[in-house]
């Protein structure tokens, strides 16, 4: 084993254990693993994913350390999440990881095993871990797992006790496989029967808010990153964005659900391919995933969301025909592009943009550091 590998392993172990909450952990870090870490400065951290939102200068310095340790390709790769689906060769995905072109991937088939996922992590050449995501909504488990832990619909989760149990079962299954990010729960209303329906907790926004936040907080306690989706909400359209762009023409009444997610400190929001044209908002025919009005002005600034913004899958028909849609999504306010049409090309395009137009460099650095911050906080919370 090379000296660099030993250093990487030691650093990963140190960052995996630094909770700042137990004397044993503090002593181990201070005396053996990472003596330069000033463990006392981590006492504000609670060992929870909600630590992401702490205003903590020392946490920021650790993020800076990770950022500075990465190549330009690896930095940009943090913003790119392809899928490992039935059409993607495992070796192709491994090359993307080995070349630092991506910072994670979505599991979208049933051929995965803990061993294969661990092998992909081992292909990662830097100390920053991968985000390994899955659409493990209760309603979708039967499509994602050979032996799902729950086989009914999300709408059937109608008690606190049942939500607690099913969420724990899902979280345990994800951790068993080595997954750390779940694209759930759904905050949309179930009134759109073509694509949401029973995937939602209810047609009633108050019930949606209560139950979705309960599930999301349970995932966070289990150290699985939850995702509030699909902003600004599919409940006011009738069609399926997998097939074509949908346009909301009414007031955005589902915003209250996403406001509740922000208040609950859910660290990630997924934006849907939904255009808006009503009396107060007009995305000019663009989906929200390409609209700075929706992602930057509304979600980031007006609603005050400080977490990660991820797009819905960019291979969906509502957006896939738009030229350079992947790059445009980032420029409009997204932090992570999910399932870009060509992950390696997107990485190169971003690097070229930053060389030609350095004015965008601070914006992209902020995006990358938001991703690194979430990865770091999860790593610090892992051994709670």
Q: Are residues 37 and 30 in contact, defined by beta-carbon separation less than 8 angstroms?
A: yes
Known catalytic residue: 204?
no
DSSP characters over 35-57: TTS-GGGGTT--SSGGGGG---H
Omega within 30 of 0 (cis) for the link into 185: yes
Q: Among residues 135, 312, 326, 335, which one is catalytic?
A: 312
At 171, list the tokens. Answer: 């979280």
Encode 243-274 in three state secondary structure: CCCEEECCCCCCHHHHHHHHHCCCCEEEECCE
* Residue 179 token pair: 């997954």
Q: Which of 295, 299, 279 is nearest to 287 (CA)?
A: 295
Q: Is 284 left (phi over 0), alpha (psi -120 to 50) or beta?
A: left
Which residue numbers are catalytic?
A: 312
């Amino acid at each position: 084993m090379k000296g660099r590998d030993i250093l990487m392993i030691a650093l990963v172990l140190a960052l995996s254990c630094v909770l700042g909450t137990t004397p044993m952990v503090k002593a181990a870090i201070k005396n053996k693993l990472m003596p330069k870490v000033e463990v006392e400065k981590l006492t504000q951290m609670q060992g929870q994913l909600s630590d992401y939102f702490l205003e903590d200068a020392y946490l920021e310095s650790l993020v800076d350390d990770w950022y500075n340790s990465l190549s330009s390709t690896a930095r940009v790769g943090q913003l790119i999440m392809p899928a490992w689906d039935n059409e993607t060769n495992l070796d192709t995905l491994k090359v993307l990881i080995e070349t630092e072109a991506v910072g994670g991937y979505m599991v979208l088939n049933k051929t995965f095993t803990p061993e294969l996922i661990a092998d992909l992590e081992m292909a990662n050449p830097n100390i920053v871990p991968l985000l390994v995501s899955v659409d493990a909504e209760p309603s979708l488990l039967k499509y994602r797992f050979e032996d799902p832990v729950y086989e009914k619909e999300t709408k059937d989760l109608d008690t606190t006790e049942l939500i607690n149990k099913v969420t724990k079962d899902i979280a345990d299954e994800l951790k068993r496989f080595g997954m750390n990010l779940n694209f759930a729960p759904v905050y949309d209303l179930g009134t759109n029967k073509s694509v949401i329906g029973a995937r939602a907790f209810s047609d009633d926004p108050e019930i949606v808010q209560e139950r979705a936040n309960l599930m999301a907080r349970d995932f966070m306690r289990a150290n699985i990153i939850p995702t509030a989706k699909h902003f600004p909400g599919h409940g006011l359209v009738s069609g399926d964005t997998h097939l074509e762009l949908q346009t909301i023409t009414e007031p955005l009444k589902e915003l209250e659900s996403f406001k509740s997610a922000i208040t609950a400190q859910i660290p990630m929001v997924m934006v849907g391919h939904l255009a808006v044209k009503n009396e107060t908002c007009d995305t000019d025919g663009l989906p929200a995933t390409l609209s700075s009005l929706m992602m930057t002005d509304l979600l980031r600034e007006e609603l005050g969301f400080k977490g990660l913004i991820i797009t819905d899958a960019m291979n969906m028909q509502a957006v896939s025909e738009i030229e350079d849609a992947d790059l445009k999504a980032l420029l409009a306010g997204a932090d992570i592009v999910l399932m870009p049409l060509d992950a390696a090309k997107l990485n190169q395009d971003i690097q070229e943009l930053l060389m030609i137009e350095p004015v965008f460099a601070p914006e992209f650095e902020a995006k990358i550091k938001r991703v690194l911050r979430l990865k770091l906080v999860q790593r610090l919370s892992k051994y709670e």
